């Protein structure tokens, strides 16, 4: 409770300070009159989540550079303001307030964890600043001011569970998950899809993001004797599990699938012996074989070097998110928030490195191509693909056509 009160104090102070420095978020005259269009990125360039944040920052930077080289947007150059949230929720709220009120940006692309999204989404809603969340998550956000371009469990986990159960010939699953809303809710989806396919959950263990010692958990897994491990772990500290699991000798006995492994290039950080064989499902892998992705990777490596981190879904969807926003601005003929929202709601699509992304106007989520991959020698071998998967989980609770003023994250009732 005390930490929540402290966060509210920080947010209140940040809002008050911004209000003093600006004439007010509802009178943003220079947003439309300036010779440049300002946009913001708020990601983690440091701290435990930087392994996910740095590629997102790079891709957003490249998107702006390429757009400016092609003439900009509406005849104006785009100015990108990048903030490093340092894996700290308080900085997210501070920078979201600054971006909306002091810097007066047209759009904010931001957030990695669901906790960071839910910290800044109300701030950006309050100050009428358009928000793009480009990270896969647990589903349920219903907010006309927010567009979620990443995948949700109905698009990926629903495919991964039966595939893993069939490939590994097992039905008993042990779940390890990050202890915040993404891990808690996604674990429920894992349980639902496991039971739907005739399996059972042996146990679900939750871990704070800073946990690095998984020895006691590995002993519990050994005693429980599951057929499959499902990892919903997140961030740099949790990489320790994959190393300790392999060191224990259990990796050779019990196979693993994950909703997150590789999302922060964990498969590159760990050794092949530690990572090989782990299954994952995303709306994008670096290894997607398409002309659009091949060309995209060439430009990315030319800009950031051949040794730049391989691209993952969070980076690819940051690219897609920027391109969708830019298309919306062009169609609207202005950066005016509501006119851009209305343009995006008209079935806006973009075909890029991750395939085709189409905005579902009722949910503001994307219809996406989805892939299953297996880690192999620090890369992913793609095993199966699924075309244009709908965000059915969020669609079950969110209809912004009927309820345009809805503004919440639904905790979807996963019957288990």
Instruction: Select the more confidently predicted residue: 319 or 13.
Output: 319
pLDDT band at 153 (very low <50, low <70, confident <90, very high): very high
Closest CA to 275 of 298, 258, 300, 297: 258
pLDDT for the residue numbered 287: 97
Do 127 and 191 have their domain in common? no
* Predicted TM-score of the model (pTM): 0.88
Domain-located, residue 377: no
Q: Which domain holds residue 405?
A: 2-151+289-367+390-409
Beta-carbon count within 10 A of 411 CB:
14
Query: For position 173, what pLDDT does the model report?
Result: 98
Same domain (yes/no): 171, 92: no
Examine the domain organization and report whether 115 and 223 are in the same domain. no
Residue 133 lies in a domain: yes
Residue 381 domain flag: no
Q: Is residue 45 part of a domain?
A: yes
N- to C-terminal Cα separation, the chain: 30
Above 60 in pLDDT, residue 3?
no
Does 7 have pLDDT greater than 50? Answer: no
Region of poorest pLDDT, from 16-30, 127-141, 196-210, 259-273: 16-30
- State the pLDDT at residue 24: 33
pLDDT band of 415, cuts 50, 70, 90: low
**Same domain flag for 138 and 53:** yes
Is the confidence at residue 6, as pLDDT, over 90?
A: no
Whether residues 242 and 124 fall in one domain: no
Domain final residue, candidates 224, 253, 282: 282
**Residue 324: what pLDDT?**
98
* 414 lies in some domain: no
List residues bridging with 371 in a β-sheet: 282, 385
Segment 378-382 mean pLDDT: 97
Interval 237-251 mean pLDDT? 94
- Is there a single domain that holds both residue 12 and residue 73? yes
pLDDT at 276: 97
- What is the per-residue pLDDT across 18-38, written as a single tens digit (0 to 9) for each? 333 333 333 334 444 468 999
Closest CA relative to residue 197, chosen from 223, 221, 230: 230
Higher pLDDT, 12 or 94: 94
376 domain-assigned: no
The answer on 334 and 188 residing in a single domain is no
Could you read off the pLDDT of 324-376 as tens digits, one per residue?
999 999 999 999 999 999 999 998 999 999 999 999 999 999 999 999 999 99
Question: In this model, does residue 244 exceed pLDDT 50?
Answer: yes
Torsion angle (degrees, nearest 10) of CA 71, 342, 138, 211: 40
Report pLDDT digits (tens) over 100-120.
999 999 999 999 999 999 999
Q: How many domains does the chain have?
A: 2
108 assigned to some structural domain: yes
Q: Are residues 323 and 306 in the same domain?
A: yes
Buried b / exposed e across 125-152, counting CB within 10 Å, b at 16+?
A: bebebbbbbbbbbbbbbbbbbbbbbbbb
Q: What is the mean pLDDT of residues 141-163?
A: 98
Interatomic CA distance for residues 33 and 28, integer angstroms: 10
Average pLDDT, rounded, for the chain:
91
Report yes or no: 191 and 204 within 8 Å, Cβ to Cβ.
yes
* Domain end call among 235, 254, 282: 282
**Based on the domain organization, do 144 and 165 belong to the same domain?**
no
Domain of residue 254, CATH code = 3.40.50.2300
Percent above pLDDT 90 for the chain: 86
Task: Of 151, 125, 139, give the one whose Cα is nearest residue 341.
Answer: 125
pLDDT of 16 over the 90 cut: no
């Amino acid at each position: 409770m005390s930490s929540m009160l402290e966060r509210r104090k920080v947010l209140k102070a940040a809002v008050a300070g911004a209000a003093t420095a600006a004439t007010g978020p509802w009178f943003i005259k220079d947003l439309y009159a300036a010779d440049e269009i300002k946009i913001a990125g708020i990601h983690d360039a440091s701290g435990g989540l930087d392994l996910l944040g740095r590629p997102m920052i790079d891709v957003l930077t490249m998107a702006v550079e390429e757009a400016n080289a092609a003439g900009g947007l509406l005849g104006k150059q785009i100015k990108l303001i990048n903030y490093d949230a340092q894996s700290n929720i308080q900085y997210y709220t501070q920078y979201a307030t600054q971006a909306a009120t002091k810097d007066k940006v047209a759009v904010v692309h931001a957030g990695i964890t669901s906790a960071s999204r839910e910290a800044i989404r109300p701030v950006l809603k309050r100050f009428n600043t358009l928000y793009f969340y480009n990270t896969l998550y647990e589903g349920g956000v219903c907010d006309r001011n927010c567009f979620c371009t990443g995948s949700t469990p109905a698009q990926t986990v629903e495919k991964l569970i039966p595939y893993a159960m069939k490939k590994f010939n097992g039905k008993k699953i042990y779940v390890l998950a990050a202890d915040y809303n993404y891990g808690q809710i996604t674990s429920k989806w894992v349980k639902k899809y496991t039971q739907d396919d005739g399996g059972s959950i042996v146990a679900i263990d939750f871990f704070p993001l800073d946990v690095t010692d998984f020895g006691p958990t590995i002993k519990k897994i050994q005693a429980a004797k599951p057929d499959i491990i499902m990892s919903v772990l997140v961030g740099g500290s949790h990489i320790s599990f994959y190393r300790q699991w392999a060191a224990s000798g259990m990796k050779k006995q019990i196979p693993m699938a994950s909703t997150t492994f590789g999302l922060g290039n964990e498969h590159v950080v760990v050794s092949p012996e530690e990572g090989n064989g782990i299954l994952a499902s995303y709306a994008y892998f670096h290894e997607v074989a398409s002309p659009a992705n091949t060309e995209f990777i060439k430009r990315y490596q030319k800009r950031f070097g051949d040794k730049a981190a391989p691209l993952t879904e969070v980076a690819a969807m940051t690219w897609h998110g920027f391109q969708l926003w830019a298309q919306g601005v062009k169609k609207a003929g202005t950066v005016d928030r509501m006119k851009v929202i209305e343009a995006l709601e008209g079935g806006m699509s973009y075909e890029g490195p991750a395939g085709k992304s189409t905005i579902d106007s009722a949910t503001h989520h994307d219809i996406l191509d989805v892939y299953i991959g297996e880690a192999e020698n620090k890369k992913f071998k793609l095993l199966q693909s699924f075309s244009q998967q709908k965000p059915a989980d969020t669609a079950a609770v969110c209809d912004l056509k009927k309820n345009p003023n809805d503004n919440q994250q639904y905790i979807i009732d996963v019957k288990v």
